[in-house]
Amino acid sequence: MTLIEKARQGQLTEVMKQVADSEGLEVEVIRAGLAAGTIVIPANKHHRQLRPRGIGAGLSTKINANIGISEDYCSIETELKKLGVAVKNGADAVMDLSTGEQIKETRREIIKNSTVAVGTVPIYQATVEILQSGRAIVDMTRDDLFNTIIEQAEDGVDFVTVHCGLLRAGLEHLKKEGRVSGLVSRGGSFLAGWMGYNQRENPLYQHYDYLLEIAREYELTLSLGDGLRPGCLADATDRGQIHELLVLGELVERARAAGVQTMVEGPGHLPFNQITTNISLAKELCKGAPFYVLGPLVSDITPGYDHITAAIGGTLAATAGADFLCYVTPAEHLGLPTVEDVKEGVIAAKIAAHAADLATGNQRAIDRDRAMARARKNLDWEQQFNLAIDPEKARRFRREHNPRERDVCTMCGQYCALKIAEAVTDDD
């Protein structure tokens, strides 16, 4: 039996209890959400070090950090450093998006060292191996693709992005309407190339039942990818994107019927005023499945600062119902992130997740901010550092910006409002 099936039968498993504890909720809430499909717990049977976390309705907003080697940078050691920095700073999951040499070794090391769920996009490996074997992407067979998924599931991958909803009809919509940026999903572009050349439907859609069988076997969570996601604001919420969402809604229901956990992925690049509509539509069409967004980025012109642009979009998305935010780093659109970029990206995403949790009434989040406000009022610097999202940076900034040890800071010095106001508001 899969986790969903156990939940439906009313079983309260160890995994459900761990997730309930980590959220400060009753285990029944977790069980009911799993049974309904509004909560997922990505947890492959073979991922031994995992401390499972839940993603979905009623839970705190979770964040994911993408790591992984590329052709130009392939040091497993560096990727493990990124993993460490990501988890230390609050990532709830990582995705290994490796495309270079040593894909398998990198993945296995990441899974072995990760206490958080690990996701992948299996078509990357399938594509790299096809090219390594001297064949073209368009020659990929069903078995090339599904055997890679099985291999990765066997390794302990907890969730996989699979672009099952990208159909020829969706590509037709895209061509008819026209786009500024075309396709920007890597997995989507591989599949679209394959489909166009072979004049056949997407194998991940055609053999979806086989995919569900594999997922059942390993308790692999499917993250239904959005191959037609917009790559710029001008392309947002177009017919291609929404067509794919219709298909994803169907696939969510088929997965639930098969007892397989499913999330749905969303944009991408969206103007701020289209975010709430996109999230509401996705939640409605996909029957409340946990929604996983990349950003969304609310402008295209911010290379070097896309972590900020994504945090803006992510806060509104999570407030409007998105459950899982994929980070964006300052290196987005420019190159593979460094360890430092990973840290910046994770913290920006964490701020978005936390701000949304405050907005939607998560009591733990509210209590933490209230404790910080008290520490600030009391000019208790140690406590402020302890409660800060990044104690190290806060400590370093205070040290570097203040020439003398004092209870106030250099911004106002003796003109500190908090000190002056004490006299006004406290004594009568």
Binding to a second copy in span 379-398, by CB under 8 A: 384, 387-390, 393-394, 396-398
Number of neighbouring beta carbons within 10 Å of residue 73: 14
Q: Which residue matches tokens 């964040």?
A: 63
Q: Do the beta carbons of residue 346 and residue 64 sit within 8 Å?
A: no
Contact region with a second copy (CB under 8 A), list: 13-21, 33-41, 54-62, 403-411: 403-411
Contact map string, positions 169 to 188, toward a second copy, x by CB under 8 A: --x--xx---xxxxxxxx-x
Per-residue contact track with a second copy, 292 to 321, x per CB under 8 A? ------xxxxxxxx-xxx-xx--xx--x--
Draw the binding track, 3-42, toward a second copy (x: CB under 8 A; -: no contact).
----------------------------------------
33 CB-near residues (< 8 Å, 6+ apart) = 39, 54, 56, 57, 58, 59
Report 128-167 residues binding a second copy (CB under 8 A): 128, 137
Query: Which residues inside 337-356 make contact with a second copy, applying CB under 8 A?
Result: 337-338, 347-348, 351-352, 354-356
φ, ψ dihedrals at 334, nearest 5°: -125, -35
- Quick one: which of 14, 273, 363, 405 contacts a second copy (CB under 8 A)? 273
Number of residues lying near a second copy (CB under 8 A): 112
The residue with tokens 């946990």 is 290
Structure tokens that stand for 421 in this block: 């106001």
CA distance 207 to 53: 29
Shortest CB 6 distance to a second copy, Å: 35
Q: What's CA 306's distance to the chain center, in Å?
A: 15
DSSP letter, residue 220? P
Task: Kindly give, in sequence order, each residue whose CB lies less than 8 Å from that of residue 127, ignoring residues fewer than 6 positions away.
Answer: 99, 137, 140, 190
Peptide bond into 188 cis (omega under 30): no
From the list 31-39, 52-60, 268-276, 286-294, the region that binds a second copy by CB under 8 A is 268-276
Please report whether residue 58 would count as binding a second copy according to CB under 8 A.
no
Question: Residues 234 to 263: which contact a second copy by CB under 8 A?
Answer: 234-235
Footprint (CB under 8 A) of a second copy, residues 188-227? 188-190, 192-193, 196
Q: Is 224 helix (H, G, I), strand (E, B) or coil?
A: strand
Shortest distance, position 133 Cβ to a second copy, whole Å: 15
Smallest gap from Cβ 22 to a second copy, in A, equals: 19
Beta bridge partners of 66: 95
